[in-house]
Amino acid sequence: MRSIRNPFCISRNLFLSHPFRKFRHPSRSRLFRSDHPFRKAPSLLLLTTIAVAMIPFGTSAQAQTARCGNDAGGFPAWLAVFQREAAAEGISPRAIAALDGVTYNPGVVALDRRQGVFKQSFEQFAGRMVSQQRLQRGAQLLRQHAGTLKRIEGQFGVPGPVIVAIWGLETDFGANMGKQPSLRALATLAYDCRRAEFFTRELLAALRIIDRGDLAPPEMRGAWAGELGQMQFLPSSYVKFAVDFDGNGRRDLIRSSADALASTANYLKGYGWRAGAGWNEGAPNFAVLREWNKAQVYQRTIALFATRLSQ
């Protein structure tokens, strides 16, 4: 995936980002996010995306360093500069206007600073996440969405149990998607000097989601690091992989389960998923699961959950 050089800061302390965060709820991203009850690390998409190269965006490193900040004082001026830069990147006035009145959120910065290292063993993590209750719910949803999942597998090659396993880990099948206003969270993190380049890229992607008509600004609520929807896609992954599978003209990963499930399959296919090749350790697709989340414990837990659901 591409990334954007932040015009406001050159800080690149990326790996403390989203890949390993605190646990509050059973989900991939949310499993590795400080707002998740069961993890101590950020979500996959943050992990995966964080490791990639960045696309230049805007001004020099000197200007970047001068414009980012670590408190609320410089945020309004930074936001005004960002809005001008976004216009230069082709973002529409309507989407840019969604940032009018957005304020600095110190709570999001505090969550970002508190990220630790994921220390649970596979046995501990999988034992917590692949519970009997979650297996029963997953099996029920496999039956409920059987037709949709069959179509998805036909188009993208990814079996239903794998998609449903990720769904369960990420947001407990859509039950816990987060409530942070995404634009405010992303703007705060893009301004903050620690990982400004990375989050500038994600904020631009969030504005492109608005431009495409997929989501309206008030709908964009999710995790503290900007992940959206039932599968907790970062905005850049949303732009790249989201699919309008229900045919209503919008790629809505918040309200449309069909869109969320198909987009997950499209994401995995985009990273090399091979139809019929298996997903457990030693199989070709096991490596693809690492592109969903870099943590091996998470990778193995997806494989275990999917295998249990397929039995």
User: Helix or strand or coil: residue 233?
Assistant: strand
Q: State the alpha helices, DSSP H only, in 146-241.
A: 146-156, 160-171, 182-191, 196-212, 235-241
Q: How many domains, the chain? A: 1
Residues 174 and 145: their CA atoms lie apart, in Å, by 14
Cα–Cα nearest to 292, from 142, 170, 177: 170
Q: Check pLDDT > 60 for residue 43.
A: no
Chain segment 82-109, per-residue pLDDT in tens: 999 999 999 999 999 999 999 999 999 9
Q: What is the mean pLDDT of residues 227-247?
A: 98
This model's pTM is above 0.75: yes
Q: Check pLDDT > 80 for residue 40.
A: no
What is the domain range of residue 131? 1-311
Backbone angles phi, psi at 293, to 5 degrees: -150, 130
Is 199 in contact with 42 (CB distance < 8 Å)?
Answer: no
Residues 273 and 155: their CA atoms lie apart, in Å, by 12
Residues 214 and 240: their CA atoms lie apart, in Å, by 13
80 pLDDT tier (thresholds 50, 70, 90)? very high
CATH assignment of the domain containing 52: 1.10.530.10
Q: Check pLDDT > 70 for residue 29.
A: no
